[in-house]
Amino acid sequence: MSQRSCLSVILAAGEGTRMKSALPKVLHQIAGLPMVAHVVKAAEAAGAGSQVLVIGHGAEEMRKAAAKFAPKAETFVQEKRLGTAHAVLAAREAISKGYDDILVMFGDTPLIDADALTVARLKLAEGAAVVIIGFRTPNPTGYGRLIEKSGKLVAIREEKDCSEEERKITFCNGGLMAVAGAQALMLLEAVGNKNAKGEYYLTDIVEIASGRGLDVVATEASFENALGINNRAELAQAEGIWQQRRRQEVMLSGVTLIAPETVYFSHDTEIGADTIVEPNVWFGPGVKIATGAKIHAFSHIEGATIASNCDIGPYARLRPGADLRQKAKVGNFCEVKQAVIEEGAKVNHLTYIGDARVGAGANIGAGTITCNYDGYSKFFTDIGAGAFVGSNSSLVAPVTIGMGAYIASGSVITESVPEDALAFGRARQKTIPGKGKELRERFASAAAAKEK
């Protein structure tokens, strides 16, 4: 298998009107990644060294998106929508390069498993000219049936064309196929359009190949592999299936999910063994968590790196660029963005740390904020190891708090503080006896006057 060259042709030209969206259908996301990108990843995992995207609606937007998730993929435009075989032939130039295997896939089937594609490629290696990936369902209504004789696939029959006996068949067409590269163009070019819609149907190559004495076989995959997305409800269904798969993988790798159904992962979430994740946690793209971390309930994490034995939340938000080192603590109702929290440092309550470094063992008191933005530019706050910042302090960047320095509670710090120094940045308290009573009486009198 490793010596066989493989091209994946991914059909992604559909407008997707039922999505009710200006965004091309296949760019709608599952787990933070466009659904067509999931298809690309599956093809790559199955050994497809070359990728082709056949695009149409929103072609320029598709090219820009593809540059991120499939930078080496070629794109071909299907100028007119004349059927699936016509769409594949839009990539004639790529198909003609002499690949051993051609995988034909759809950009709106994001749950396709690389193993299903690998099995289809193995059948090609054994001599099949066409391999159809099918699925079984107790309720086949609406699906094309796979018609087999003596272990060979002879036709794909749409339900409206099935006999009563054929409608009882529960082995259905999943739409995905593998075609021997040597026969691909010959079979595609033989597809006609003598049907009610006047379109060129890719499924016709089954009967064409069978009629020419070529081996055509069907392989079986789960229904999920063939699940196509046409509307927002189906998009949510696919998201749910993907999340359930990932939760299972994560738990089997040694991670504890206390309420798995409430935890949501992104396509690239990395999470180490012995991590504990409490209920209602959301992981956005770009999260890497080492071993032994604890993520408390209702935390929202994206673009963050979390070292071993860190403690996060509850109700913490880690934004892109948050870098927590070993045994760091970010507690309840805290937000960290573009900042390093070094080993053993604590950001415990109701705090914002942005564009900053918090040194090892430092303690940040409740209600502290780094004032990092002046409306135009961002500025850096550097807090040294072992520093103690008292509650309700504002650190106005750019500013440096030296190692072991102590910031008195309620301070507004606008100048750097040397190591081991104590800094006050607040007005001196003044107490006026009886003034509180006087103010209450004055305010009550004014309120009563308004009511008259």
pLDDT single digits (tens) 383-404: 999 999 999 999 999 999 999 9
The pLDDT assigned to 2 comes to 63
- With contact defined as beta carbons under 8 Å apart, do 145 and 132 qualify? no
Nearest to 81 by CA among 8, 16, 174: 16
- pLDDT more than 70, % of the chain: 100
More confident residue, 198 or 252: 252
Q: Does 14 score more than 90 pLDDT?
A: no
Helix axes 114-125, 35-45, angle to 10 degrees: 40
Cα 155 to chain centroid, rounded: 37
pLDDT at 121 over 90: yes
The count of other CB atoms within 10 Å of the CB of residue 89 is: 22
Residue 157 has a pLDDT of: 87
| pLDDT > 90? residue 57 | no
Query: Regarding beta strands 276-277 and 294-295, do their DSSP bridges make them parallel or antiparallel, or are they unpaired?
Result: parallel
Mean pLDDT in residue range 49-73: 93
| pLDDT over 80 (residue 449) | yes
DSSP 422-451: EE--SPPP---TTHHHHHHHHHHHHHHHHH
Task: State the distance between the two ends of the chain, measured CA to CA, in whole angstroms.
Answer: 91
pLDDT of residue 1: 58
Active site residue 349: yes
Q: Which amino acid is at 387?
A: A
Does pLDDT of 193 surpass 80? Answer: yes
* pLDDT more than 90, % of the chain: 86
The catalytic residue among 86, 296, 300, 349 is 349
pTM above 0.75, yes or no: yes
With 80 as the cut, is the pLDDT of residue 452 above it? no
What structural domains and CATH numbers belong to the chain?
6-226 (3.90.550.10)
For tokens 């918090």, what's the residue? 358
**pLDDT of 377 strictly over 80:** yes
* Residue 79: CA count within 13 A, CB half-sphere: 0
Q: Where are the beta strands (DSSP E) in 209-301?
A: 216-220, 256-257, 270-271, 276-277, 282-283, 288-289, 294-295, 300-301
